[in-house]
Structure 1
Amino acid sequence: MDPTERPGRLTAQAISAAYASGSLSPVDVVTDVAAIIAQREAELNAFWRYDLDAALYAAELSAARWRAGAPLGPIDGIPVTVKENLARVGVPMPAGNAGVVPRTPERSSPVVERIEESGGIILGSTVMPDWGMLSSGVSSLHGITRSPWNPSLTTGGSSSGAGAAAAAGYGPLHVGTDIGGSIRLPGTWLGLTTLKPSAGRVPLDAPYLGRVAGPMARSATDAALLLSVISGPDPRDWTALPPQRLDLDDLTVGGSFDVAALRIGLHLDAGCGLPVDPAVRESVESAAAVFSAAGAHLELVEAFLTPDLLSSLDEFWRVRSLVDFDDLEPSRQDRVLPFIRRWVEAARGVTAQEVMRDYSSIMRLQQLTTLATEPYDLVLSPVAPMAAFPAEWPMPWGDTDQGMAHIGFTAPYNMSGQPAATVNCGFLPDGRTVGLQVSGRRFDDVGVLRAVHWFEEHRGAGATPVWPIPARGGV
């Protein structure tokens, strides 16, 4: 079988169309995805819980609904994965940490409930590193999660399992979470299209400053489809946005997306953290040139983040995780990943006054991000300063402590609440992917996805991932 024609490799839209025509059934698709997982999962390590029997049963129910012409929603029968920190009834939630006593939820999170209400077939829960505070797939509980492009390389994190599942073809739709880049970093290092939605767009049952859940996929249309299902208010999320009908059905909107009318900022210097690899910068500049050639007005955005602001954010997160660490019994503390233990212990002497100053710095970061980006319809930037690094490294520089020196482009949009997407914009000579971050004004998730979709159609073959990624020895 041609691997590009396998049912499990199709987009969500193509799968739904095949269900409607009767040329495929949900059982066909889940069975094929299961074959892909069987071949790749032992090496990639994407799943915390994989529920094939439940997925096949759900596929049979979905097939009956399609035969009756009564699908539950736009993703009925579509395979989906969710990150392990999104509650599912009866599935323990260890937060990727061997020291944690997992909580087993009695109710699913809003995201999971909406997927199931729409008929989506949840294959399982994907892994994450300890407490989600690493930008890699290294976990004290799960071991190492690896890139489908090259298993010697990282997936990025903390939505490491979701990223691996999306890139490997474990179905078309995946949900990650993001507090400083955890959706978008796997996006850049795996060639995916992802979206960190506006704050409050996708409801959570445990909202927290900067935290969001969002789609991870291989195309903007699939990301938009998943967003249409999981967005909207829920009473459990007191930060949720009001009800709003998002026009996500057709990202081209009949061709009305006018690139030439856009004022676009090009942000190449984060103002702090590690310098941008020249090859990454070149790919981002080439992507910006695609927009400029179509008539968009392009301007450089000056650096607005400072080393002190990024350091304050890092310290605030260290203290937060130190509280979690201190809540563990001593024997369980010993099970936490050594890198994370050192990272949190470095905050042991931080005073209450310093924590409040850190919080004030975060408010300042929100203000500066909004002021710097408000003049633009979109801002284009690197996602991270570097390309993918070895899978065994907990952070892009290895095992040393450099704080959060790699999230100067991503974290500002978590704090400001603005939507920010990733889309592949190039490859390095060794084949590593490079992502373009596309951010927009707060609440303009649709505009960001339309821009990403437009770029996907205009970026050229040299910047376009070819799916599926073959396993060594073929798929």
Structure 2
Amino acid sequence: MTTPSPALHELSAAELVGGYRRRDFSPVEVIQAVLGHVELWEHKLQALYLLRPELALEQARASEARWLRGAPLGPLDGVPVTVKDNIATRGDPLPLGTAASELAPAAADAPPAARVREAGGVVIAKTTMPDYGMLSSGLSSFHHLARNPWDLGKTPGGSSSGAGAAAAAGYGPLHIGTDIGGSLRLPAGWCGIFTLKPSLGRIPIDPPYTGRAAGPMTRRVADSAWFMQVLTLPDARDSMSLPYQAIAWDQFDAGVEKLRGLRIGLLLEAGCGLAVEPEVRAAVEHAARLFERAGAVVAPMRPFMTQAMLDGMDHFWRMRSLVDMKALSRERKAKVLPYIQQWADSAAGMDGEAVYKAASQFHQTRVATVAACAGFDYVISPTSPVPAFPAELPSPTNDPLRPLEHIGFTVPFNMSEQPAASINCGYTASGLPIGLQIAGRRFDDLGVLQVSRAFELIRDEQRPWPLPPSEAVEHID
């Protein structure tokens, strides 16, 4: 019995490029297939912003002409891509997920979008995010509420909400998100996909900011590796970017042998925030046993984050948002999600000493993270202590005074500038994905991809990807 061939929207970037080269199918056929699949899903997922089919098809026709001439622009020519709302695309407004934004057209493509265009990628749409990217959910005052394709009653996570949902639902192979405390990895974990938050500066971004990174969000490790060869090209606009390195991203698949003899730290408690739920803990412990069977040496780690570190970063971000909102008119501020308003307004009583002490926790977190990881080649942990929560909630706690209790595993690696991935490692009894975070030493982005690929090879059989509501029974709590 033969396995049916994957539909065009399910093919990897490499498979698409190979098919174009052999003329098995054209970019126009692929984009039509992706748009058709999007049409089946999008009325329920609401993952996209600026979905413009005719513009996507125009890009696809230009790509098709280049392939017919034998002159593709680069490794993404004709490959469908989505770009997160907060990554500027020339001529398009940049709402940042909030109805408070003035919708002025962007003057230029931000670095990740520019690299996609230069390589011939077809931008089919932007993807949604919550207000200012300050929530780990798809709740937004500007965009429709984004949902998780595994369970439409659950959040896809955030702030790369739409990107996570789009990748899991099969809106083509490549999606770009951003991350300052977990905004790539949390939706990846809750949507069952793969992502890499790279070392700070590995992928140029504009504007740069402490801890902020752009990264690929894909169903497969291979697609993220393929995307990295384009996204990591240099751009002078990022004053925090690393010197460009011609890393052999095509060497991401070093096989299971990559794991033999590795020293891997197992972090099961974050040291702050929410307790790890039993199903999440069991899935990560099972992943650790798989690493051991493959020849890695796995050792438990003590928590190194503290509640003071998490609270300090939280309080500093509150003050930053309070300052930003003071620049808004009363009418515009009223359009921001009430949860975000309450969170920012809670910083109004902080004095200079309190702000300084809060800001110092970023460095304390960095020092503690690097020291804790020093004895290991890689560190594995839950991506989140909890599975995906109800879609309508802004955070797992639904409390603006305890908004970041779920980022204790992810945020330290933003501050330490270390690469960290999320990959699916199991499912809850109700069928929700569980993410495993794999963190490496600073600059070892390729190593994190290789370990992630090795785990992809040894992990338990994965469940089929969710089907559109027209093809499956909906499940909404």
TM-score, normalised by the number of residues in structure 1:
0.97
Tell me if structure 2 keeps the 8 A contact 1:424–1:465: no
Tell me if structure 2 keeps the 8 A contact 1:232–1:241: no
Q: Distance between the aligned counterparts of 1:238 and 1:465, measured in 2?
A: 42
Tell me if structure 2 keeps the 8 A contact 1:257–1:450: no
- What's 2:25 paired with? 24
**Aligned-pair identity (%):** 46
Deviations 1:344-400 (A, max 9, x none): 111111112221212211111100000101221110000111001111011012355
Moved over 6 A (4+): none
* Other structure's SS at 1:216 match: strand
| Superposition deviation, residue 258 in structure 1 | 2.6
* Other structure's SS at 1:81 match: strand
Q: Distance between the aligned counterparts of 2:13 and 2:203, measured in 1?
A: 20
Deviations 1:59-111 (A, max 9, x none): 11111111222211111100000101101111101111111223421111011
User: Which of residues 455, 469, 474 in structure 2 aligns to 1:472?
Assistant: 469
Q: Distance between the aligned counterparts of 1:134 and 1:102, measured in 2?
A: 21
Q: Distance between the aligned counterparts of 1:108 and 1:380, measured in 2?
A: 35
Q: Distance between the aligned counterparts of 1:9 and 1:25, measured in 2?
A: 15
- What's 1:264 paired with? 264
- For 1:471, give the aligned amino acid: P
- What's 1:158 paired with? 159
| Superposition deviation, residue 214 in structure 1 | 0.2
Query: Any residues of structure 2 matched to 1:31-430 within 5 Å, and which?
Result: 31-253=32-254, 255=255, 257-399=257-399, 401-430=401-430
Q: Distance between the aligned counterparts of 1:429 and 1:281, measured in 2?
A: 13
| Superposition deviation, residue 43 in structure 1 | 1.1
Q: Distance between the aligned counterparts of 1:231 and 1:50, measured in 2?
A: 26
98-107 or 380-389, which deviates more = 98-107
Q: Distance between the aligned counterparts of 2:399 and 2:362, measured in 1?
A: 26
Q: Distance between the aligned counterparts of 1:417 and 1:60, measured in 2?
A: 40
Query: CA 1:239–1:400 in structure 2 vs 1: closer, same or farther (change >3 Å)?
Result: closer
Deviations 1:6-54 (A, max 9, x none): 1011111111111111111101110000001111111111112112111
What is the count of residue pairs matched by the alignment? 470
| Superposition deviation, residue 465 in structure 1 | 4.0
* Other structure's SS at 2:250 match: coil
Q: Distance between the aligned counterparts of 1:473 and 1:361, measured in 2?
A: 48
Q: Distance between the aligned counterparts of 1:321 and 1:224, measured in 2?
A: 34
- What's 1:443 paired with? 443
Q: Distance between the aligned counterparts of 2:470 and 2:86, measured in 1?
A: 34
- For 2:467, give the aligned amino acid: P
- For 1:167, give the aligned amino acid: A
- For 1:31, give the aligned amino acid: Q
| Superposition deviation, residue 234 in structure 1 | 1.3
Unaligned runs of 5+ in 2: 473-477
| Superposition deviation, residue 143 in structure 1 | 2.9
| Superposition deviation, residue 4 in structure 1 | 6.2
* Other structure's SS at 1:396 match: coil
Unaligned runs of 5+ in 1: none
* Other structure's SS at 1:261 match: coil
Q: Distance between the aligned counterparts of 1:103 and 1:363, measured in 2?
A: 36
* Other structure's SS at 2:50 match: strand
- What's 1:454 paired with? 454
Deviations 1:150-187 (A, max 9, x none): 11110000000111111111110000000000000001
Tell me if structure 1 keeps the 8 A contact 2:181–2:410: yes
Tell me if structure 2 keeps the 8 A contact 1:180–1:411: yes
| Superposition deviation, residue 257 in structure 1 | 4.5
Deviations 1:220-265 (A, max 9, x none): 0001111111113311111110010111113224x58531121100
Q: Distance between the aligned counterparts of 1:352 and 1:105, measured in 2?
A: 35
| Superposition deviation, residue 472 in structure 1 | 2.1
Tell me if structure 2 keeps the 8 A contact 1:325–1:333: yes
| Superposition deviation, residue 306 in structure 1 | 0.5
Tell me if structure 1 keeps the 8 A contact 2:420–2:440: yes
| Superposition deviation, residue 207 in structure 1 | 0.4
Tell me if structure 1 keeps the 8 A contact 2:425–2:436: yes
- For 1:175, give the aligned amino acid: I
- For 2:374, give the aligned amino acid: E
Tell me if structure 2 keeps the 8 A contact 1:97–1:130: yes
Tell me if structure 2 keeps the 8 A contact 1:311–1:403: no
* Other structure's SS at 1:180 match: coil
Tell me if structure 2 keeps the 8 A contact 1:191–1:465: no
* Other structure's SS at 1:245 match: coil
2:12 matched to 1:14? no
- For 2:464, give the aligned amino acid: V
Q: Distance between the aligned counterparts of 2:280 and 2:334, measured in 1?
A: 38
* Other structure's SS at 2:260 match: helix
Tell me if structure 1 keeps the 8 A contact 2:47–2:161: yes
